[in-house]
Amino acid sequence: MTMAMVPAGEEGRPLPVVKGETSAAAVAAREKAAIEARFLVAMHRLRVPDTARLRILAACQRSRFAETAKYSKPVAGQKIIGPSIRFVEEALRCWGNVDIQVSVVFDDDEKRIMRVVGLDLETGAGYALDTPPILKSVERRNPKQGDEVLGSRENSQGATVYRIRATEDDLLNKTNAAVSKTIRNVGLRLLPSDIVEEAMEAVDETLRHQDERDPAGVRKRLVQAFYQIGVMPDALVKLLGHPLESITPAELAMLRTVFTALKDGETTWAEVQETFGAEGRPAVGGDASGRAPKTEALRERLARNRVPKGEPPAAQAPPDDASDEALQREAAELLRREGGA
């Protein structure tokens, strides 16, 4: 702002004359210059898609990164698995020439809404997405002294939960989590879907090799990671339905994705227990009786083969408690007879 002194009226006293731009115009000019500079740099450093793809796949071969590259959360009773926030951030860095802008579009005493705009500086493709309303309140069972209580409700367990005014730290954490999730959704629209799918396969391969090399070490690190976010080992035992020492590779993969979702604020432990819990869940690869589909098919086939002519099939059905060894002997005999027929 500049001030010029000029005479005014008969008294000749100088009056200040203000010359300058409004803050809104200054901000608009600055943002325009910044965007033009980003486009200029992008035109001089064009992306090489094959190189960017190899960089993304190389990142997926790092064990520590692969452990957090996928998340899993319950949605309407279903298990949703996808690329995590950390994966999309790394993929955008490797892809290059992508501009992400975050701004506030609504803010009052009750809520805040942020807007995330993603722009590919080479192709001009862009996407904008608003965050869900970020409430400026949190729920606590036991309000502390000095908390501003805004209301209360009764949860599903019958306990009273109080809605209190969020502190600056609470609001910052909620805002960062909402913005990060929105950046992931916008980033996935800018990244080629085939490269994302290939990267997810590379992540699975990296983790499979890691689990084969040191399954006990992987299990201990995963249990420690859950403990650091407030989930005790006995809660994991209840979730799986068996001791942690007998955890399977599929369960290790499931727990990794659940941990990432919990850490990123995608879901809560109560929702995980309801959807991923062992109660009412069929055994992995089987039906509600716990038997694998192939085993059941073999039992039915053996039963049909043992039925004498003229008798109904149900009369000679094998008992449910037939041992695996006996089943294998009968299967071998059946295959031998079929091969000689």
pLDDT of 14: 57
Amino acid 290: pLDDT = 39
CB atoms within 10 A of CB 136: 19
84-103: pLDDT as tens digits: 999 999 999 999 999 999 99
Nearest Cα to 125, choosing from 48, 249, 42? 42
- Residue pLDDT, tens place only, 247-265: 888 888 889 989 998 888 8
Per-residue buried b or exposed e for 159-191, using 16+ beta carbons within 10 Å of the residue's own CB: eeebbbebeeeebeebbebbbbbbbbbbbbebb
Domain boundaries of the chain, sorted by first residue: 24-136+166-195, 295-340
pLDDT value for 205: 95
Q: What is the pLDDT of residue 316?
A: 46
pLDDT of residue 294: 46
Ranges of residues in the chain with a pLDDT under 50 are 1-7, 279-295, 307, 309, 313-323, 339-341
